[in-house]
Copies of this chain bind each other. A is one copy, B any other.
Amino acid sequence: MEGEEIKMEAKPENVVYIGKKPTMNYVLAVVTQFNKGMPEVMIKARGNAISRAVDVKEIVVNRFMRDLKEKSIQTSSEEVTGEDGTKFKVSAIRIVLGK
């Protein structure tokens, strides 16, 4: 499940990768990082998960940690290799929240 992501990068603790789990799982993950003392947390998502990433950010900021600031929102286009070896582009988003 997570194997592929680990290969891609070192997966630093303060990055929350948005997948297909329920939104609140990721909200909890972000809040937990801040409660551990992280000054910033990055929310990352690709493709259809981008909408969920924005949900996570909005819920964290509006419902759980109203003192947080949005440090940056960046979008990009990443090249992904499909199971059959074909390459295609997928959009990505990175949202950085900080205290």
Binding site for B on A (CB under 8 A): 47-51, 54-55, 57-58, 62, 70, 73-77, 89, 91-93, 95
Contacts and interface: CB of A to CB of B under 8 A. Distances in A.
19 contacts: A47-B51, A48-B48, A48-B51, A49-B51, A50-B50, A50-B51, A50-B54, A51-B51, A54-B91, A54-B92, A55-B91, A57-B91, A58-B76, A58-B91, A62-B77, A73-B73, A73-B74, A73-B75, A75-B95
Contacts of A95: 75
**Pairs of residues from A and B, 7 with the lowest C-beta to C-beta distance, nearest first:** A50-B51, A58-B77, A54-B91, A73-B73, A55-B91, A58-B91, A51-B51
Nearest to A61: B77
